[in-house]
Amino acid sequence: MGFKNSIAWYYFSSPKNFYALAGKLIPWFWVLAIGLIGVGLYMSFFVAPTDYKQGESYRIIFIHVPAAWMSMFIYLVMAAYAIIGLAWKVRMADMMASALAPTGAMFTFLALWTGAFWGKPTWGTYWVWDARLTSELILLFLYIGFISLQSAIDDPRRAAKASGLLAIVGVINLPIIYFSVKWWNTLHQGASVSPTMAPKMASIMLTTMLIMAIGFWMYTIAVVLMRARRIVLERERQTGWVRELLLGEGK
C-alpha cells in the first residue's frame, strides 16, 4: 500500500496530471457544496429550535463555527503544503499553498464578522481584546502577510520560500486560538464541540452545524482547485502541454 500511495502522490504532484484531475473533480465538489449548504441553511432556519437562553441570535453559530474551523484548518493544510514545497521542492505543493490562502483569509474574516454580530446581542459588544478574538485576528494578518509576500516577490520560487517560511512559523498561532478559551479567562464561550467531551448542544443543532461545516469544506475544495488550475497555467506556461492545451482552444 505504501508503494501504491507513493506512486499516486508522485503522479499528482505533476502539474499536468493535477490540472486534468482537478478539472474532473471540481463539478462534483460544487454539487456536494451546494447540496450540503442548501440543506444546512434549511435546517438552520426551519428545523433547529429557538435557543432557550439566547433566543434566535444563536443561529449565527451555524455559519460562525464552520467559518472559524475552516479558517484554522485551511491554515494547517496551507502550512503542510509549504513544508512539502520547501523540503522536497514540489512545485505543485507551493501552488496549492498559494491557492489556499485567499479562501483561508476569507473564512477568517467571516469568522470575525459573524462573531462580532453574534457578540453584540449576546455580550453587548461587537469586539473585545479577548484571547480568542485577538488570536483569530492575528490569523487574518498571517494570511494577509502570506498573500502580500507572494505578490511582492516576482520570482515564484523565492516567493514560495519566503511566504512558506511565514506560513510555517505562523502555525504556532493555531494552538493558541484553539486552546485560548481554556488557557485564559475569555469572554468567548468554551468549545461547543470537543473530541474528549460529550457535546454540550442539542443534537439537532450539532447536526446542522456539522452539515454546514462539511458544506463549507466542499466549497473550499472546489474554489481552491479552480484557483490552483489558474496558477498552474500561469507558472507552467512555457511547458509543451500548456502550450498545446491553449493552442487547441477555440479552433
Q: Does 189 bind another protein (CB under 8 A)?
A: no
Binding mask 45-84 for another protein (x = CB under 8 A): x----x----xxx-xx--xx--x-----------------
- Least gap, CB of 131 to another protein (angstroms): 22
Which residue type does 61 have?
I
Give dist(CA 166, CA 146) in Å, integer: 7
Using alpha carbons, list the distances in angstroms from residue 239 to 15, 23, 126, 232: 10, 19, 51, 11
Stretch that binds another protein, among 5-13, 168-176, 186-194, 233-241 (CB under 8 A): 233-241
Q: Does 250 bind another protein (CB under 8 A)?
A: yes
Binds another protein (CB under 8 A): choice among 113, 127, 184, 241: 113
Query: 199 with 193: CB under 8 angstroms?
Result: yes
Stretch that binds another protein, among 78-86, 144-152, 170-178, 223-231 (CB under 8 A): 223-231
Q: Does 200 bind another protein (CB under 8 A)?
A: no
Closest CA to 47 of 198, 206, 218, 216: 206
For cell 478574538, the residue is: 133
Map the footprint of another protein across residues 117-146, applying CB under 8 A. Answer: 117-118, 120-121
By beta-carbon proximity to another protein, the closer residue of 37 and 82 is 37
By beta-carbon proximity to another protein, the closer residue of 89 and 120 is 120
Give dist(CA 192, CA 179) in Å, integer: 13
Q: Does 43 bind another protein (CB under 8 A)?
A: no
Binds another protein (CB under 8 A): choice among 73, 83, 91, 102: 102
Give dist(CA 58, CA 51) in Å, integer: 7
Query: 136 with 68: CB under 8 angstroms?
Result: yes
Query: 144 with 69: CB under 8 angstroms?
Result: no
**All cell numbers assigned to 36:** 450540503
Q: Does 249 bind another protein (CB under 8 A)?
A: yes
**All cell numbers assigned to 122:** 449576546
Partners of residue 55 on adjacent β-strands: 51
Q: What does the binding site for another protein look like in residue numbers (CB under 8 A)?
A: 45, 50, 55-57, 59-60, 63-64, 67, 102-103, 106, 109-110, 113-114, 117-118, 120-121, 219, 223, 226-227, 229-230, 233-234, 237, 242-243, 246-247, 249-250
